[in-house]
Structure formats: structure tokens, C-alpha cells
Structure 1
Amino acid sequence: MKSLKVIDEFRVEAKEALFTKQQAVAITLRLLQAELAAAEDAQDRETLSKALQNITFSYLDATATPIDEMLDQVGVARFTSEQIITAIQNVIFDVK
């Protein structure tokens, strides 16, 4: 996979953005779907399709504490665009 153009654009456009848990999950899935739609060859499409099937919330946040639950319940925006990008890169690496 040469580059992730949609992810690269997201990195620029959402540089300082913070996301709630729900927003982070939604944007992660939408970014993977957009990359899949823009994939230029069969191998990239296969990798991105596997990534979409295998992505879980643990790629974004591996902790599950009472404080995490409290923050999520009140809708605290605490996920950065870089955390989302890293989660996508990690799931792609894991399925390759």
C-alpha cells in the first residue's frame, strides 16, 4: 500500500480536532470505507476490506475503566485525529 490519500487529507483537515467515542468510531469506519473506495489495486482493496472487518474499538482505546465510562457517558471529546490515524494504520498492519 503506497499511501492512504484520504487519511493524509484527514490528517491535515482535522489536525487539532477532538472526537467523542461515538464520533471516533464513526469517522474511523468512514475513513476506512473511503480508502477502500479509492483503492487503486486488488491487493489494497483486499487489505482495506480485511481492515474494515477486523477493526475494533480496542484499536482506538485499549483501556476500559470506570473513568472511561464516565467520560463517555457525558460525551467528553478526548480522541485526537492522530489516535484515529494510528488505529487505522495499526489495523492495516495487523491484517497484512
Structure 2
Amino acid sequence: MAILSGVIVAAVSIAAAARIRIAAFAVFALFVALGFGILTLMKGSPILDAIVSGIAFLFLMEISYIGGVFFWGLLRRARRPSAREAIVDSSHTPGK
């Protein structure tokens, strides 16, 4: 179950990198990591295991976010500009 939730957290973090700013994502990641830590504690695990679990999820989310930022940046650079976004020279040379 922990591996599945880790994959889901990583996928959400990579997707969030496309639209969410780093400050907003940092707050979101702290709350999610705190939630995973509390869930681990509620299952009856020792407090040290809960802290390590929360930090592990936080680390996974932040690394996935940074990887997503680089991925989406490379994807934007690799995209060919459309005709609408092309820079057009507005100067007109008069005909003869």
C-alpha cells in the first residue's frame, strides 16, 4: 500500500509542477506529509516511524516536483511554435 501511495504522490507532484508555483506546492506538500505521518501514527506505529514516514513522503514530493519542473520546461522548449505564436515582421517594404 505504501508503494502505491508513493507512486500516486509522485505522479501528483509531477503534474502539479506544470501549474502550481513552488511556494503553494511547498505548503501543500507539508500538509500531505503531515497527514501521512498522522495516518502512520494512528495505525499504531511508533512516533519515530511516523516522523520518518512523513519526511519520506515530503522528500518524495519535493524531488518529484523538481523533476516535474524540469520535465515540463523541456517539453515547453521542445514544442514548435505555432503560426499564431510566430514573430512576424510588421515592417512592409513598398513594391516597385
With the shorter chain as reference, the TM-score category is 0.3 to 0.5
TM-score normalised by the chain length of structure 1: 0.37
- TM score, norm. by length of structure 2: 0.37
Task: For CA contacts below 8 A with separation 6 or more, give which structure has more relative contact order.
Answer: 1
Greater C-alpha Rg: 2
Higher strand share: 1
